[in-house]
Structure 1
Amino acid sequence: MTVTDTAELSNENLRARLAQELTAARARTALLTESVDDADLAAQHSPLMSPLVWDLAHIGNQEELWLVRDVGGREPVRSDIDSLYDAFQHPRRSRPTLPLLDPAQSRQYVQQVRTKALDVLDQAVLQGDPLIERGFVFAMIAQHEQQHCETMLATHQLRSGPPVLSSAPPPAAAPVVADEVIVPAGEFEMGTSTHPWALDNERQAHRASTGTYAIDRYPTTNGEYLEFIADDGYGREELWSAEGWRHHTKAGLTAPQFWEQDASGWYRTEFGRVVPIDPAQPVVHVCYYEAQAYARWRGKRLPTEIEWEKAARFDPGSNTSRAYPWGHDEPDATRANLGQRHLAPAPIGAYPGGASPLGVHQLIGDVWEWTSSDFVPYSGFRAYPYDEYSLVFFGSDYKVLRGGSFATDPVVARSTFRNWDYPIRRQIFSGFRLARDL
């Protein structure tokens, strides 16, 4: 199915598609929360993350607020817990101290909310009001839940104890040449005004311009990053920005998060399992400052957000922008590593069908890619449907990441989708690729 097909579905078929997205999100939530016992579910595995049980009830609370109460006009299921699950009232590190719903109560709550939400969807006429036009608010809630599924997967990566998650290994890579692609100077259409489920910071479509530049065909790999470590990249202050070196020193950075070395080589912890570093996989769990230092070591730089999107979307043959690197068809298993189908990045070259018209690979899925851009609004930005999704985060505190990771669901993984985080963050599934001026 293409993005255009989604926008043109009949009301009945669109309801079915939205129910499918909500159901898929809930299945992933259930897997992530039912794979641990109740004590693990209620524990805080890192001060950077919420207890999994908080995420579970928060997912239900957002669904209740938007679908049951706002769109449906129904009586509240649990109005007494709204403040407990407001992410802006309580920072993550303090959430275990709150009188949260216990695991059994949380499961019952989200099921009650879902039953009512699907009833609202079944009766909805998905046009007219911008909030429900083409199912926007239902898709927003599905995307919200899938974003929390990625956050919960990051919590699983931080938890200690025996493994509880498993998956098939990612596909093997074909032989590749890890070279550069030249992107021609000129304008292209950035952002979107037409995707019915795009979020506010992706809008509106506008003309953006670049000079000629080179961008790496593939994300930076573990093998390439090991060369940086071997050349004392973590010990050479001249490779790091002033802010990066201060963080490096304070945090004691010596390698990507979850990496360890012994006499036989390098290993990483992967959801409770210790596995050898695969040199062909994109490096993951690096912060912005590490990516920036590596880029200087290579004599390159991180791409800007505009450069990343142009490499991902611009088709020089038609002078148009695509919804995805490969075209307008939605992601599938032949084009990108998404949806927690594999619990690791795939080796470079694993998805030739996902290449952009310019020949840039694995732009969608595998690892979020740091860009050098601050998270700022596009011209004409309008916060919708609430300020706390994007507006309150704009500014120089956050750097933009693009492309999604193996933990990102296809419903989110558009070429226009914008993620952001503090430049010190490493628990996220973040990597990078490099660019250079020509």
Structure 2
Amino acid sequence: MSFSPPGTSVGPDRRDEDALRDRVARELDRARRRTRHLTEAVDDGDLRRQHSPLMSPLVWDLAHVGSQEELWLVRDVGGRVPLRPDIDDLYDAFRHARADRPALPLLSPVEARGYVASVRAKVLDVLAGVPLRGRRLVADGFAFGMIVQHEQQHDETMLATHQLRSGEPVLTAPPVPGPSVPPGPDEVLVPAGTFTMGTSVEPWALDNERPGHPVRVPAFHLDTKAVTNARFVEFIEDGGYERPELWSEEGWAACLASALRAPLFWRRDGDGRWWRRVFGRWEPVSPEEPVVHVSFHEAEAFATWCGRRLPTEAEWERAARFDPRSGETRRYPWGDEAPTDRHANLGQRHLRPAPAGAFPAGTSPLGVHQLLGDVWEWTSTPFRGYPGFAAFPYREYSEVFFGEEYRVLRGGSFGTDHAVARATFRNWDYPGRRQIFAGFRCARDASPEEVD
């Protein structure tokens, strides 16, 4: 199906519009099934509990998903009478810090489930009748796509809460596939050039991905795979957490303040072996899997240790989207086809990152593995708007976060859904955060001799 960019008044014909409604309904249902899985895996007491001051109780996330859906799709798009205006403030993420949310008069698990079900029934009724054209908010189903992505993003947040919870394991998944192709060289040369960064045509792209604009990137080398646990252990064993010269001033202060010695959820036994807690289960650290649950500061220190650096956001996107054979900028590393299970490790299908070479269909033309899925990848770039940025449909999604205090992450993790995981999607967080499913790969400048 072809889509016109949001903001245009030219919509699909009736047949295309019906197909778009079907797609929206499927995506809404798919997101809700994941939400139910994450919230029904634990009892009501666990839903109310705060497992970390960095995270909300799961029951808050559940009702917040419904509240946003009501605000945008029932009230704004549908023009319907509000269902629960009395709880708007409770589930406004900007009114209450995560650490304070357990003390709020939140809906009970039973009430929250009933509320989100009632909202969804109204939304499906709205979807059946509203034209998906004309007004920018509804053109190409944008508002519905925004809500799908919002729920999937909260599902990943709830998955991170599951990783933080104590108690018996409740989530299961099949093991990750092993490498089916050799990972090849450790790095590739990404040639200099100008490419279109961001997008002006992706119908469900969010405001911080817009507009598409030309960016010139000098030649650089990029790792063909994310840094593995084995490589990170080498950093640890070489005193990486004890050498201030490897860290930025801010990073070293964070390292000392939090007494960092290893990635989050790692511990070493009496025999010197490293173990990692994965959704309630302790297991030996897998050497070939990408390291996960490391902060920007840890990633930056590692890169300094091995004589490299973190890629810029523009470098990451050029490597993920540039096709040297055609010279074109693509939607995904493998082309324009939407992600499938062959391309990337997404959607909490395996509950862990996969080793390089496990998804050869997702390899970029330059030979870079798994740029989408597995682990979010820290970049060196602060989160800012692109030239020509315009907040839409509200400032609080992106604009209020612009500034030096956040760093951009790219690519998605094993917990990111394919509705979100596109090569233009931008995530951001504080550089000290470690509970997110974040890792990294390294880059280095190309010398004139290497370019010629």
If the TM-score is normalised by the length of the shorter chain, which range does it land in? Answer: over 0.9
One of 199, 205, 210 as aligned partner of 1:192:
199
For the 8 Å contact 2:47–2:109, the answer to whether it is kept is yes
- Relative to the length of structure 2, the TM-score reads 0.95
For the 8 Å contact 1:68–1:74, the answer to whether it is kept is yes
Matches within 5 A, 1:14-413: 14-174=20-180, 175-264=182-271, 265-413=273-421
AA aligned to 1:236 is R
Q: Which runs of 5+ in 2 are unaligned?
A: 6-10, 447-452
Equivalent residue of 1:398, what SS? strand
Instruction: Show CA shifts across 1:308-339 (max 9, x none).
Output: 00000011221111000000000000110001
- Relative to the length of structure 1, the TM-score reads 0.98
Instruction: Show CA shifts across 1:149-179 (max 9, x none).
Output: 0000000000000000000111111333351
Is 1:416 aligned with 2:404? Answer: no
For the 8 Å contact 1:203–1:381, the answer to whether it is kept is yes
For the 8 Å contact 2:353–2:375, the answer to whether it is kept is yes
Q: Distance in 2 between matches of 1:90 and 1:109?
A: 20
Q: Distance in 1 between matches of 2:235 and 2:185?
A: 16
For the 8 Å contact 2:183–2:225, the answer to whether it is kept is no
AA aligned to 1:177 is G
Equivalent residue of 2:242, what SS? coil
For the 8 Å contact 1:2–1:329, the answer to whether it is kept is no
Instruction: Show CA shifts across 1:241-269 (max 9, x none).
Output: 11000000000000000001113411100
Q: Distance in 1 between matches of 2:229 and 2:185?
A: 13
AA aligned to 2:81 is E
Q: CA deviation at 1:81?
A: 0.2
Q: CA deviation at 1:124?
A: 1.7
Q: Distance in 1 between matches of 2:408 and 2:185?
A: 24
For the 8 Å contact 1:2–1:328, the answer to whether it is kept is no
Q: CA deviation at 1:2?
A: 8.7
Q: CA deviation at 1:236?
A: 0.8
AA aligned to 1:39 is G
For the 8 Å contact 1:180–1:216, the answer to whether it is kept is yes
Q: Distance in 1 between matches of 2:4 and 2:366?
A: 23
Equivalent residue of 1:192, what SS? coil
Q: Distance in 1 between matches of 2:77 and 2:321?
A: 34
Instruction: Show CA shifts across 1:355-382 (max 9, x none).
Output: 1121111000000000000001000000
Equivalent residue of 1:409, what SS? coil
Q: CA deviation at 1:144?
A: 0.1
Q: Which runs of 5+ in 1 are unaligned?
A: none
Q: Distance in 1 between matches of 2:136 and 2:436?
A: 32
**More divergent stretch after superposition (408-417 vs 257-266):** 257-266
- Across the aligned residues of Structure 1 and Structure 2, the Cα RMSD in angstroms comes to 1.5
AA aligned to 1:195 is E
Q: Distance in 1 between matches of 2:234 and 2:3?
A: 41
AA aligned to 1:30 is R
Q: Distance in 2 between matches of 1:178 and 1:426?
A: 29
Q: Distance in 1 between matches of 2:359 and 2:231?
A: 20
Q: Distance in 2 between matches of 1:263 and 1:335?
A: 40
For the 8 Å contact 2:3–2:140, the answer to whether it is kept is no
Runs of 4+ in 1 over 3 A off after TM superposition: 1-5
Equivalent residue of 1:420, what SS? strand
Distance 1:3 1:223, change over 3 A: farther
- Aligned twin of 2:449: none
For the 8 Å contact 2:190–2:366, the answer to whether it is kept is yes
Equivalent residue of 1:318, what SS? coil
Q: CA deviation at 1:4?
A: 9.1
Aligned length: 438
Q: CA deviation at 1:122?
A: 1.0
Instruction: Show CA shifts across 1:79-102 (max 9, x none).
Output: 100000000000000001111001
AA aligned to 1:69 is R
